[in-house]
Structure 1
Amino acid sequence: MNDVEQLIIDKLTGQIGEEDDFNRHTHWWWYGIAAAVAGIVIVSLFLLINHNRNKIAPAPGILVKLANGEVMHTSVQDSLASWMQDVRKANIDPSALNTVMVPAGKQYTFHLSDGTKVWMNSISSLQFPLLFTQPQRNVTIAGEAYFKVAHASQPFTVQVNGLTVTALGTEFNIKSYNKESTYISLVTGSVSVQNGLGERIVLLPGEGVVVEDRNSPLRKEKYDESLMLGWMQGVYFFTNEKLEHLAVIAKRWLEIEIQIKDPTLAGLRFTGALDRNKPISHFLSWLASSGGIRYEIVGSKVVISRK
């Protein structure tokens, strides 16, 4: 190979080498740009998500107001143990009263410290101590709850709308919503019910007490278990119920506001069931077919009018 040929080969191989170096550097340059762009996108998405997260209010859940005024949110069923830890950390008297509040559309189940199990319905609150240190195990209910009382030497008492319900070990339901009658329904065992006037009634299984208001006498009567306890299975059974009251139940149970556009429809009466496990459209369609009414969804409301 002469010098000229070698020079040509050297130039060719040099150009190829330079081209390889160029391509290699070019590829890395593009990789660097892609990585930088990806980093910018990720950071932007992170900032956007956090910005939007700050704008979104947390979904309403179960509220626990401790005796020291601190309010906690929980979605965990039967979370008494975690409350006890928080109370110990806060150095709160375990015999002081705390309050569990269940909002519309929710239910909550938990155990008290004595082992009593409580099922709470929507729009209900229960005041109770974390430890029962008094001669009586005393709680206060507003709304609706089912109690499965643990056996103990201390009587278990529930204060509700001016009434005192006393039991040792039994199961019963209490329903006492604002501007509605109070119902106490015994399932097992026995309870005594006493009002502020000094009247006292002892109930046996299958019996209940109805009180119209604080100043009304106690009235004992048999009750329909499916009507009174269906809510625990997610079904509200009703008999000869006014449409205006069904609207109240729908708001309490499903967080849906029903507006009755024609006032003359408010007194229409229905017998049936509202199943919270099914879409509200099932219930509304049934209403429309049963009562000669029609409904339409306007914004966040359901408006009912005459056909």
Structure 2
Amino acid sequence: MSKQDFISLYEKFLSGQCTDEEKQLLESHYSEIKLMNNEWDNTLGDEEVIKAQIIAKMQSELDFSKPIEITQKRSNAWLKYAASIVFLLSSGLFSWHYWEQKTRNNQSVNNILPGKNQAYLTLSNGQSIILNNTKNGQIGGTSGVIIKKISDSILSYTKNNNTNNNIKNTIVPDSNSLTVPRGGIYQTILSDGTKVWLNSASSIKYPVAFAGKERRVVLSGEAYFEVAKNRKMPFKVTVNGMNVQVLGTHFNVMGYPEDKEVKTTLLEGSVKLQSAHNNTRLVPGQQGVFNNTGFTVATVNTDDVVAWKEGFFVFDNESIESTMQKISRWYNVEVVFENKNSMSNQHSFGGTISRHKNIDIVLKALEATGSVHFKITERRITVMD
């Protein structure tokens, strides 16, 4: 069972929806909890005591039929699972189970719901189609390609086998744009079989059918790509003055217009990053960061980078500005800082929490550190010391 699967199942238990079989599944996997940090931070308290408290709480809540064994062997492997039960932040450790239950029974009038599957498609003729208001099925077709909404979250392009419309290399095929607003997420399958997941406040422009010597798309925002292999036609992503070139691979690109850098993270295969002045290559597990000084490359936890696609916020020593920017995009809220300069270098956060929680759950998790507080006024979040 993966970390995300366990956390999802645990959160299902918190909502009172777990079956007996699922409760047993939770019991059987608690000892496989994955690593949040390579080293335990002793300032948070005694690891074995905290571990015992968490497992004991799970035991009492889940009513396990057999005793839970706590091994004496020192291991951090349990901690990553506990990220959903215990949220680790720079100023301390806290359990959020109690206030979450209280919040569920006494919902705030300011409760803001999480994002959802929503996007709009812009056709080459300028027509816009709001996909979440459109029934599943074929919604268009051009250049020998059928455009179809195949589920509430996926738009697909497939070649029409009933036509003989072969696009020549000299012909520029129609282009479409898929835009995901703030508070949304969506997936598309391009005509070559490439799968693209778009995060909130992101858009991608692409040919309906690829022609010529390359497959080029233009991205704004964040997207995860699983590129279909085609050695004769390299796949290129253009974003904020940088190109990502691949043949067939899995990678994540984040380059919002307001950001000062573009982050490309490689999960599988190989990519070449190109700018007007220099270039670099990545191997799996590396992240290339492009800004006005060029490229830097570092090894990262790729699961954390793409956790948004699986429905999670993962904060890893993240600044309050970066943390709130992600929250702002997903919940479609305005974020203002009461005293941004004094907070910039003081607070960093780390932990995992579901993106399917209402915003008050997420904000209370951050507030529980004692280092930051929030005021909600309609759809404006004020960040205070």
State the structure with more CA Rg. 1
Which one of the candidate residues 115, 121, 126 is aligned to 2:199?
Answer: 121
Gaps of 5+ in 2: 1-115, 147-170
Q: Which has the higher contact order (CA 8 A, sep 6+)?
A: 2
Q: How many Å apart are 1:76 and its aligned residue? A: 7.7
**2: CA distance between counterparts of 1:147 and 1:76?**
25
Superposition pairs of residues 62-141 of structure 1, within 5 angstroms: 62-75=119-132, 82-84=139-141, 95-141=173-219
Aligned to 1:148: 226
Aligned to 2:168: none
Aligned to 1:203: 282
Q: Is the 8 A contact 2:143 2:173 kept in 1?
A: no
Superposition pairs of residues 169-208 of structure 1, within 5 angstroms: 169-180=248-259, 181-197=261-277, 199-208=278-287
Q: How many Å apart are 1:302 and its aligned residue? A: 3.0
Q: Is the 8 A contact 2:255 2:262 kept in 1?
A: yes
**2: CA distance between counterparts of 1:80 and 1:291?**
50
Whichever structure has more helix as a proportion of its residues is 1
Q: How many Å apart are 1:272 and its aligned residue? A: 2.4
Q: How many Å apart are 1:96 and its aligned residue? A: 2.6
The residue type paired with residue 191 of structure 1 is: V
Superposition RMSD in Å: 2.9
**1: CA distance between counterparts of 2:343 and 2:376?**
17
Aligned to 1:236: 313
- CA shift in 2, pair 1:202/1:150, >3 Å: same
Q: Is the 8 A contact 1:77 1:108 kept in 2?
A: no
Between stretches 128-137 and 252-261, larger displacement belongs to 252-261
- CA shift in 2, pair 1:184/1:78, >3 Å: farther
Gaps of 5+ in 1: 1-58
Between stretches 292-301 and 182-191, larger displacement belongs to 292-301
TM-score (norm 1): 0.71
TM-score (norm 2): 0.57
- CA shift in 2, pair 1:300/1:142, >3 Å: closer
**2: CA distance between counterparts of 1:126 and 1:203?**
23
- CA shift in 2, pair 1:166/1:299, >3 Å: closer
- CA shift in 2, pair 1:193/1:77, >3 Å: farther
Q: Is the 8 A contact 2:266 2:302 kept in 1?
A: no
Secondary structure in 2 aligned to 1:107?
Answer: strand
**2: CA distance between counterparts of 1:295 and 1:100?**
34
